[in-house]
Amino acid sequence: MSVKTDDKKYIANTYARFPVEIVRGSGALAYDENGKEYIDLGSGIAVNIFGYSDSEWIAAVESQLHSFQHTSNLYNTAPCVKLARALCERTGLKRVFFANSGAEANECAIKTARKYAENHGKPCAKIITLENSFHGRTLATLAATGQDSFHRDFLPVTDGFLYAPANDIAAMEKLVENNDIAAIMFECVQGEGGVLPLEKDFVRGMAALAEKRDILLIVDEVQTGNGRTGALYSYMNFGITPDIVTTAKGLGGGLPIGAVMFGKKTSEVLQPGMHGSTFGGNPVCCAGALNILGRIDDKLLEGVAHKSELIVSALSGAPGVKSVTGMGLMLGVETERDAGDIISECMQNGVLVIKAKNKLRLLPPLNIGDDLLIKALDVIKAACAGKAE
């Protein structure tokens, strides 16, 4: 059996995979089928916060596996309650719904916003999202995603979304003025869109507008959340209080989990029968997530800020680098050479990097050692400086 040829034959052709098979990992290091070692700066797309096969996380997951792996949401279980309580205590939000992915968390946020608007005399109110955003691949989250290229092949997408340009508060005010709006939904740093942080004034402006008009503020922290930007959740960098926060990717440390956190206004909107998920709140995923969340402390976050500076100072102004954008350990690097060529060259030289639009996107484990990070940056710098083919 060849994994690569069977993959091409039997797996739905939705991913343009790199020609590498990952067979094991340890910390920030991944190993392929030939035993070749890579420093992985993608973390499975911002998922493996503590790298591969972290021993503390394994112990938490394994211990839960020996108790029970799953039951239905018809019964109480400790891991999901402990995790929900920890999330509420860390954020000040009031209640949590558990899903299995980012898209599912956003679906739940969208349903909640629609129901909230209906409860407040605005049936069929719309949700505003930003141009160039990314919110997921289900039909509603695809519609929420403010990029035509994602909609094109799957029309009609779900109705009820309006799009506003980022960092233009006047345009946002105009949309709010002329429509019944249930919510404004955004990423504080647009990830898939090219690692673009929103301007602080714009984020605060949206928060003020939402407050004034009784519009819900939904922050999509699927990628930015769980320490990635140097705060537990990226909205904390902007001094705002969202009504709904969604997260996923890094929360489970590598097991699938999504969470929707509800603030005061939204904590009682969903009632029995309105929403649910067979796997949501799975005890094994929650036990892993509880371990991860407990370790995202001030010391780790200081490390994120320090490593972020290390990357920014190494790459800003380096030969072949046009710009470095982002926050914390979520950074985009605009290069003179084609990003795909740089990524291939880095891979040959033992560093895994991913892309966002036409940029390199760096999402290293939050606890990557400085030595490994510096080694990887040298490889990236050399590739950026290299001549275009």
Ligand X SMILES: *Cc1c(COP(=O)(O)O)cnc(C)c1O
Tell me how far apart the alpha carbons of residues 38 and 32 are, in angstroms, rounded to a whole number: 8
Segment contacting ligand X by CB under 6 A, of 12-20, 57-65, 215-223, 266-274: 215-223
Binds ligand X (CB under 6 A): choice among 135, 295, 359, 361: 135
- Answer yes or no whether residue 134 interacts with ligand X by CB under 6 A: yes
Binder of ligand X out of 140, 222, 311, 314 (CB under 6 A) = 222
Which residue is it, tokens 């930007």? 229
Q: Does 307 bind ligand X (CB under 6 A)?
A: no
* Residue 136 interacting with ligand X (CB under 6 A): yes
C-beta of 40 vs 220, nearer to ligand X: 220
CB 216 within 8 A of CB 210: yes
Q: Does 108 bind ligand X (CB under 6 A)?
A: no
Kindly tell me which residue out of 77, 223, 229, 247 binds ligand X, with binding defined by CB under 6 A.
223
Asked whether position 51 contacts ligand X by CB under 6 A, the answer is no
| Residue 316 one-letter amino acid | S
Number of residues interacting with ligand X: please give it, by CB under 6 A.
15
* Strand extents, DSSP E, the chain: 22-26, 29-32, 37-40, 95-99, 126-130, 161-164, 181-186, 189-190, 196-197, 216-221, 244-247, 258-262, 321-327, 330-335, 351-352, 354-356, 359-362
- Give the residue at shortest CB distance from ligand X: 102
For the window 165-194, what string marks contact with ligand X as x by the rule CB under 6 A? ----------------------x---xx--
Q: Look at residues 326, 306, 310 and name the one whose alpha carbon lies nearest to residue 318.
A: 310
Residue 372, number of CB atoms within 10 A of its CB: 19
For residue 83, the minimal CB distance to ligand X (Å) is 17
Backbone angles phi, psi at 42, to 5 degrees: -105, -25
Task: Rule CB under 6 A: choose which of 103, 113, 219, 245 binds ligand X.
Answer: 103
220 scored as a contact of ligand X (CB under 6 A) = yes
Question: What kind and span of H or E run contains 105?
Answer: helix 102-119
Site residues (vs ligand X, CB under 6 A): 101-103, 106, 134-136, 187, 191-192, 220, 222-223, 248-249
